[in-house]
Chain A
Amino acid sequence: MPLITMKCDELIPERGKHTYITDTENPVIPACNVTTIPGDMTERGCPFAGARGVVGGPIVDIIHMVHSPVGCAYYTWGSRRSLPDWYSWSGPNKLDNAAFNRRYCVTTDMEEKDVVFGGGTKLKKACIEAFKMFPEAKGLFMYTTCTSGLIGDDIPAVAKQVEKTVGKPVFFAQAPGCSGVSQSKGHHVLNHEFYRQIKALREKNPDLCMKEEEKTPYDINLIGDYNMDWDIKAIIPLFEQMGIRVVATFTGNERIENLIKMPDAKLNVVHCQRSAGYIAELINEHAGTTHLDVTLYGIVETSKALRDVGKHFGLEKQAEAVIEKETARIKESIAYYRSKLEGKTVALYVGAPRVWHWIHLMEELGMEIVAMACTFAHKDDYEKINAKAKSNILVIDNPNEFEVEEMLHDYKPDLFLCGLKEKYIARKMGVSTVNSHSYEKGPYADYFGFVNFARDIYQGFYAPVWNFVKNNPSEEVE
C-alpha cells in the first residue's frame, strides 16, 4: 500500500501525495519539502524561526539582533528550551538567573518609516548601541525577517560597517519568513552563511584558529545538537570517557570562539542531520574533515554511534567499555519501564529527524509505532524512516490539524509524542502526550536520558486522569 488519501483530505487531493503507509518491500517517498497549501492548518514555522529560533539562537555569548518589526523578535525570545549555562558576564548576584541569549530579546523594532525609507541605518545604530549596552558580548548575529528581507536592506554592508566600528565579529543570516517552505530553509541558510563568515574570519584573523599545540588527535565537533533540556550533559561525557574532546557543539550552549574553531577538529559527529548536516559538508569541503551521522537516543543507536566513533579513532576498546558501563547502569530501569509499556501503541510527530531517531528506541521499550509525521522532512529523512520502520505504519508529511485528528481517531495510539501545538488537541481527545520537541523532564539523549524518556512516557501514560476520561460515561462523545 503506497500513497493514501486520508478521509479528511477528500477535498484536497493534493494532500494524498503527502501521506503513505510504510512497506519494507516497496518503500515510497512522499511529496516533501514543498510549498504548503494555503489555508491548510499547517504546523510549520518560517525560515526565520529555523535560523534564529533553532540554529543560531543557542550561541550563548553574542547579541542576537533581530532586524524586524517587534513580533518576530518577541516570539523567539527565550521560547526554545535549548538551555545555556554560560551565565554570561555575570558579576556576583548579577544575571545569575538566565544566560544572555535567552534572557534578552534585542530588536530594531522596525516601524512604518523604516519600511518606507529603509532600515539599514537604524540597524547599524541598533547594533552599535547594543554593543555599548552589552560591552561583554563577543559578537553579534543579525537576522532578517519578512519585512527587512522584502524592503531589501543591505545586511552584509551593515555587518561590515558595524564590525569595523566595534571591532567584534558580526554574523548574519538572511532567511526571511517568506523565503522558503518551512523552518528547514532557515537551517540551511544559517549553516551556509555562518560557515562562510567563519571561514572569512579565520582567514583574516588566524589567531582565532586553534593553535597547533592545543590540538589533540581526538578532537570532534558535535554537530546538530541544540542542548534541549541539557542533552549535552548526557552526550559529551560519553565522548570524554572515551578520551575524545568535543571542541564545539553546533550550537547547543556554545560560545562563538569555539564555533570558529570547528574546522580544526578531526571529525564531525552529526546528530541532527536535517538542520546541521549542511555545515558538516561545508567543513568537509573546506577542511577535508569527515563526518559520521549518528543517532544518540536509546541504547541500540547510542551504542552504535559510540562504536562508529570509536572505530574512526581506533578507540574501539574504550567505546566498548563505555557502552558496557552505561548500559549496565540503566538496564534495570529500562527493563522496568519496558515491562510497563510493552505492547502499547505510539504515534510520533516531530520536525523530522527525531522520528527516525526514535524508531528503534520505541522498539526497545516494546512499544509499537502506528503512525509518524514530520513537519519539514526532506527526501533523505523519509529514506531513513523507510529503512528503519516496519510495514503498515501511517506516515504524514507536513500534516494539517485535521489529519492529526483523524490519525489519533483512527489509529488510536496510546501515546502521542508531539509538540506544543498538537498536545492540547490530543489531550482533548483523551490521548496522553509527551513533548517531543523540548521534552517534559529531560535530557532524553543517550543512556541516562533514555531512562528519563522512558519515565516520562510511563508517567504520561499511567496518569490516573486518563482512567477518569475513559471510564466516565458523562464525558462520552457528544
Chain B
Amino acid sequence: MNRGAIKEQPVVINPCKACQPIGAMYATLGIKHAVPLVQGSQGCSTFVRYQFNRHFREPANIAVTSFHEDAVVFGGRRNLIEGIINLVQHYHPEVIGVVTTCSSETIGDDIAAFIKEAKQRLTAEIGAEKAAKTFIVPLRTPSYSGSHVQGYDNGARQYLEQLAQESKPNQKLNIIPGMINPGDIAEIKHLMSAMGAANNMLFDISETLNAPLKMKNSFFPDGGTAAADLVDAANSLGTIALSRHAGGGAATYLLRKFNVPAVLGPFPVGIYNTDLFLEQAVKLTGQPVTAEIKRERGLLLDAMADTCTITALKKVAIFGDPDTVIGVARFASELGMELIAVGTTADSKEFYREIGLIAKEYNCAPQIVADGGLHKLEQVLLQNRVEMLIGNSNGAAIAKQADIPLVRIGFPVTDRVGYQRRPIVGYNGSLWLLDYIVNAFLERK
C-alpha cells in the first residue's frame, strides 16, 4: 500500500523519540540515593516509570509534584515546595533532581526561586545540618523542545553545573555513558579496570537499574554515582562522553569551567570505535591497553572473519539514539553490511557528518531519516528491500511487516528480556552483537 510521499510534516507518526524529562530522569536514576521529582502532572512521572519498568524490569522511584487544576491557575510554587519537603522528610534522598515538564515550563515556574524557598523552609523545619544533606538540583527540560536525548544531555550538564567543584586532582577519568544500558556500563568499567585506570562513572545505572533479588528492605537500590563523585568530577584527568549527544554538554562544561579535557564519542562499538575509545583513554590516563583487552579484540576479529560471508552485503537499516546509530552503523559496515537507511531522533549536524564519513569510507549511500518518525523509515525500508532492522522495540511491528529480523538494541526494549544486561560496547559487547546479528540471519535460512 502506497501511502504517498511524505514531505515536511505537520504530523508525526510513530515518533523515534520521547521527551526531554525521561532523559533527565534516566541520568538521575544513575545517582546514588537520588530521586527525580517531576514538576508537573502525574502522567509525566507515571508514564516514564512504566517505560523504565518495562525496559529494565526493575522498580524505578520517581516522585511527582502532582499538578492539578490549582497549579495551572496559581503556578507550581506550592507543589514544588511541598513536594521537596515531603520527599526529604519521607525518603531522605541525597539528591533530588527537579525535572521540569511542558506544563511547568508553559506556566513559567521560577524553579530556582522555589527551590531556594523550599531549602529555607527545610532548614527551619529540620535544621540546617539535616537540610544540607540533600542536594536539590533544578533540571530544566521543557518537553516541547528536543528529545529524550537532549533531556539527558541537559540533565547531566545541569547536575555538573550545580555540583562540580574544584579541589585536589583525583587521578580519575570521568565517563558519561549517555542513555545506554547497565550491561554497557559494566563493560566499560571492565575495560577501565583491565587497563588499571581509575574511573569516575557518572550517572551510573549499572546497578541501580539492574539489581539482584535479595531480601533487602531499603527504598533505594544499591549503586549509582555518589553525589560526592559528581562534585569531584571537576578534578578528573579528563572526561569521555560515550554519547556526544547525551552527555557531551556536561563534558564540555567541565572543559570550559575547570579545564578538564573532554572527548566526545565515538560510541565504542565495533573495531574502529573501540580502538579509538581506548586510544583516548590511554592518552588521558597514561594507562596501557593490556593483553587481556587485546585478546578480546582478537576474538572479535576472529568472529568477524568466521562470519563475514554471512553478513556481507546484507542490506541493513538502523534506528535509535544518534550516537548509538552512528556507532552501530560503523560496526555494521565493518561487518560488510550495506547501510540502506538510518533513522534517529535528533536533527544534528554531527549525525549527518558522521554518517557521511561512514558512507564515504564504505561506499554506500544511506538515506537519513531524521524527522517524520519511524513511519517514514518504514517506507524507505520497504522500498529498498532491507534485510535486517537494528533498533529498539518500537521497530517490532515494522520488522514483522517487512518480514525481516529485528536486532534489538538501545532503549526501550520491552518485548524481549535481558538485552539491558548485555553490552554492545567494547570488543566483548560487539562480539555479542555480532553473534546476535549472524544468528538472526542463520535462523532465517
Contacts and interface: CB of A to CB of B under 8 A. Distances in A.
A31 to B, nearest CB: 15
Nearest to B37: A39
Interface in B131-161: 142-145, 147
Nearest to A131: B11
Q: Which of B10, B43, B143, B214 is most buried by chain A, counting CB atoms within 10 A of its CB?
A: B43
A132 B17 CA distance: 23
A330 B37 CA distance: 48
A421 B11 contact: no
Interface in A399-449: 401-402, 405, 409, 420-421, 424-425, 427-430
A350 to B, nearest CB: 15
B383 interface: no
Nearest to A135: B3
A182 B41 CA distance: 9
Contacts of B22: 71
Contacts of B143: 69-71, 147
A71 B47 contact: yes
Given A69-B102, A104-B375, A112-B144, A37 B66 contact: yes
B72 interface: yes
B82 interface: yes
Contacts of B439: none
Interface stretch (B49-57, B248-256, B354-362): B49-57
A75 B18 contact: yes
Nearest to B76: A38
A198 B102 CA distance: 32
Contact of B11 (A112, A129, A425, A427): A129
Contact of A469 (B50, B79, B215): B215
A41 B214 CA distance: 23
B182 interface: no
Contact of A75 (B14, B37, B43): B43
Contacts of B14: 77, 104-105
A260 to B, nearest CB: 25
B360 to A, nearest CB: 32
A458 interface: no
Given A46-B41, A69-B143, A133-B13, A179 B61 contact: no
Interface string A33-49: 00111111111111111
Interface string B287-316: 000000000000000000000000000000
A425 B42 contact: no
Interface string A455-478: 000000000000001000001111
Contacts of A4: none
Contacts of A91: 1
Interface stretch (B84-92, B165-173, B278-286, B322-330): B84-92
A249 interface: no
A69 B46 contact: no
B30 interface: no
Query: Interface size bucket, A side?
Result: 35 or more
Contacts of A130: 11, 13
B348 to A, nearest CB: 16
B217 A405 contact: yes
A39 B43 CA distance: 14
A420 B19 contact: no
A147 B82 contact: no
Given A12-B86, A177-B41, A181-B68, A71 B46 contact: no
Interface stretch (A92-100, A305-313, A318-326, A359-367): A92-100
A110 interface: yes
B66 A106 contact: no
Nearest to A97: B400
A44 B68 CA distance: 12
A104 B13 contact: yes
A401 B45 CA distance: 13
B68 A109 contact: no
The bracket for how many chain B residues form the interface is: 35 or more
A146 B68 contact: no
B145 A111 contact: yes
B19 A49 contact: no
Nearest to B17: A70
Contacts of A236: none
Nearest to A111: B144
A444 to B, nearest CB: 21
A178 B72 contact: yes
Interface string A176-205: 111111100000000000000000000000
A409 B215 contact: no
A397 B219 CA distance: 21
Given A70-B19, A71-B18, A420 B54 contact: yes
Given A71-B143, A181-B68, A115 B106 contact: yes
B15 A430 contact: no
A73 B15 contact: yes
Given A39-B85, A39-B87, A421-B59, A70 B11 contact: no
Contact of A69 (B63, B144, B375): B144
B71 interface: yes
Given A39-B63, A77-B14, A178-B71, A428 B216 contact: yes
A10 to B, nearest CB: 10
Contacts of A37: 66, 82, 86
Nearest to B3: A133
A49 B78 CA distance: 24
B13 A106 contact: yes
Interface string B384-410: 000000000010010011000000000
Interface in A88-125: 91, 94-98, 103-112, 114-115, 122, 125
Nearest to A36: B66
Given A39-B83, A180-B68, A469-B215, A12 B43 contact: no
A11 B84 CA distance: 14
Contacts of A107: 11-12, 15
Interface string B67-110: 11111100000111011111101110000000001110011000
B397 A146 contact: no
A38 B43 contact: no
A95 B147 CA distance: 28
B41 A35 contact: no
A424 B90 contact: no
B410 to A, nearest CB: 14
Given A39-B90, A105-B14, 18 more contacts: A36-B64, A36-B66, A42-B64, A69-B143, A73-B15, A75-B47, A75-B48, A77-B394, A95-B401, A107-B12, A107-B15, A111-B144, A115-B144, A133-B11, A146-B40, A181-B68, A421-B50, A478-B216
The 5 closest A-B pairs by CB, nearest first: A46-B43, A71-B19, A39-B83, A39-B86, A75-B47
13 contacts: A35-B68, A37-B66, A38-B79, A49-B43, A49-B46, A71-B20, A105-B14, A109-B11, A126-B11, A133-B13, A146-B67, A182-B42, A424-B57
Interface of A: 8, 11-12, 35-49, 65, 68-77, 79, 91, 94-98, 103-112, 114-115, 122, 125-127, 129-130, 132-134, 145-147, 150-151, 176-182, 401-402, 405, 409, 420-421, 424-425, 427-430, 469, 475-478
